[in-house]
Structure 1
Amino acid sequence: MMIAPIDAPRVTLDDLKQAALVDLAALGYPSAAWLGDLPRPDAADIADAIIVGGGQSGVTIAAALKWDGLRHIRVLDSGAPGAEGPWLTFARMEELRTPKTQVGNEFNVVNLSIRRWFETRYGQQAWTDLPRIPRTDWKAYLDWYADVFEIAITNHCDVLDVAPEGDLIAVTTRIGGRIEKSLARTVVLATGYDGAGAWRVPLFVSEALAPEKFDHTNGPVDFDALKGLRVGVLGHGASAFDNAIKALEAGAASVDLCFRRARLPRTNPHRAVETPGMMTHYPELSETTRWDIARFFRSVDQPPPLRSFETAMRLENFKLRPATPWLR
């Protein structure tokens, strides 16, 4: 379905939603449900899939499963409504680091794309002039996307356990003070970096200092409390630069950004896999090849986003300290 002209004031995001639904219907969405009923009295309460995590992966996976004919999908997230993923919580960069032309979650439906969403909201010229997608706009787009597919997210929900229960999977959750157990045919973990374990401050820091003397970038930071203070940042990743910028903008006296490497990485190896061939067929690579790729990424690392680096280097009282590990 064509919606035009895109810059016309009468075109709204709700209009775009309806256009996207027309496109989806033309491509067979929603497809007919095909899973048979389970022969048990509680079958109506059993989810086809429970997705843990309501960020960009969680909602995209839910949309894909709905397109494939699954009807009973639950998406769980520990954050508050609107705070799914990092975008409005601990992510502090101005824009995404991935190219704005990177595609995938719109399933080749133009009216589902971030480009069409952005043009509808700001105009075609704004997209043309845009170097990269602003972080807050990306989150707003994901919320709109979830609304198109009618993906309901259960918020403030902590998953305590995932375990087999006969032919099904039991998911134990806590919402408020209430403990519940839900059953599903399958469970998808879409927890991002949180799925790799806990976020930790090095012990030589956390055991030596009072809690109010340090923060982890994956959590709330009282930047106003840093006014007039000398701040040390350990690490050279995106969050290191983004938090250094926020600290100086809040009035910190200085920021020393320290890291072990002799110099910052100059190239981003992740760009090499952002091609249709690699993104589509990556799971078909052998486990050894995928392991080698992951090890290579870990060994060479990646530079901070260019905008974050340039912004930090322009700020007075910001100092970059390579080959400066913290010992105690």
Structure 2
Amino acid sequence: MTTTTYRPDHPPRTTRARGPGWRACGRALAGGAVMACALGAGNAAGPALARLLGARGYLAELLPAALVTLLAVPAVLALRRAAPPAPALGLGPRHGALPGLLRGLGTTAGCAALVLGAGTAAGWVHWSALDPPALLGFLLRNAPVALLLEALPEETTLRGHTWTALSARFGGAATALGTTLVFLLVPAAAAVVQTVLAPLLGGPPPSGLTPAGGDPIGYLVLLTVFGLTLVAARTAPGTAPLWTAIGTHLGFLSVNRVVFQGLARDAGWSAAIAPAHAAVLELAWLAATAAAFTALRRTARHRGPV
């Protein structure tokens, strides 16, 4: 009995574009450039816009995030209209958006719960008292900011445009690695854009390429694993697969901010974890999430199309 290869939104080897590889790489880098410019401009102009409008508190936090999405998403859609036909971004059909988003959120949260539960049992994680109303309020406030600042624009430009540009020309492994490499270049490029624009717009300079006090090598490893996990989510079976990556991205940011920054962010729950243990647990739940999506894809591949 034969089986049919299953590759969501990935052109079969025989139908991939035969054009030069450098052209596909150029289109892929353009997606990263759009995201870097949008992120740098949003971080530079957003606070200035908030001051101009008299926005304070949560609205002042939401405005820069909304600006990043308003710059990145229309720009990358315009870029795709100007380029040769490419595989779909994966945002449609519309009825698949919410199931895809929930698939990403649920898988990420479930894997995080399993890994953090194991860490708690091992004595690595010590939890604060839970305040359910405060936790729910934080998650509801955090979700729009995380979605607009990072999850939606990054997935649309990178796991959307960059991934499809590479997948039209290269195989799955090269596409995954190339997309992740572009993802790693975005923070530094965005910092350059913000450095140039901040004095002109009255915005803040970039805070740095790594979180305050973070280890640059450890952060690079984390971003690499995170990027590969998002590619695994993007290629998981199901309709509107890019929304699965968006949900995964949003789920990771939400869990991360509660677990590691919950006290500082007044999230209603937080954990005390030694830095070495935190790094292991964070990588472990990302790896578990990627493994879950990979298992789903392999199962669908062996079953073949319905």
Structure with greater helix share of residues: 2
TM normalised by structure 1 equals 0.26
Indicate the structure with greater strand content.
Answer: 1
